Amino acid sequence: MAGIPSTAGSNPVLELMAYIESQVIRRKGVQITPETPLVSSGLIDSFALVEIFLKLEEITHRKIPAGKVQAKDMNTVELMVRTAERIGRVRP
C-alpha cells in the first residue's frame, strides 16, 4: 500500500496476516486473506482486537487514535491497514 512505510521490503498486510494467524488465531490449518472477515465471522474476539491494534501501529509505524477507529474498520486486515493509512500519524 502506498504511504505505509515498509521494513526491509515487508508488506504490512502480509505481516499483519501472519501475526494474526500465528499469534492470535493459533488454530492449525486456519489461513486468512486480506478480506477475511475476522470479527464478524468469530475468528477473533474484542479482546484480541486490542492486541492486533497495537501490532498494527507497530507494523505501519503509525500512531492511530483509537477514538477514531470504528468496529467496521477492524473486520479485515485490508481495512485495518487502510484505516492506519487514513487516520494514523507517521511516527518519527
Structure-block grid coordinates of residue 68? 477514531
Instruction: Give, for 30, the enclosing helix (H) or strand (E).
Output: none
Give the pLDDT score at 78.
Answer: 98
pTM of the predicted model as reported, rounded to 2 decimal places:
0.86
10, 58 contact by CB (below 8 A) = no
pLDDT of residue 5: 47
Residues in contact with 80: Cβ distance below 8 Å, sequence separation at least 6, in sequence order: 16, 52, 56, 73, 74
Task: Please give the chain's pLDDT, 92 residues, in tens.
Answer: 444 444 445 899 999 999 999 999 988 889 999 999 999 999 999 899 999 999 999 999 999 999 999 989 999 999 999 999 999 999 98
How many Å apart are CA 51 and CA 16, to the nearest integer?
Answer: 11
Tell me the fold of 12-90: 1.10.1200
Taking the domains of the chain in order of start, what are their residue ranges? 12-90
Cα four-point dihedral sign 57, 77, 66, 48: negative
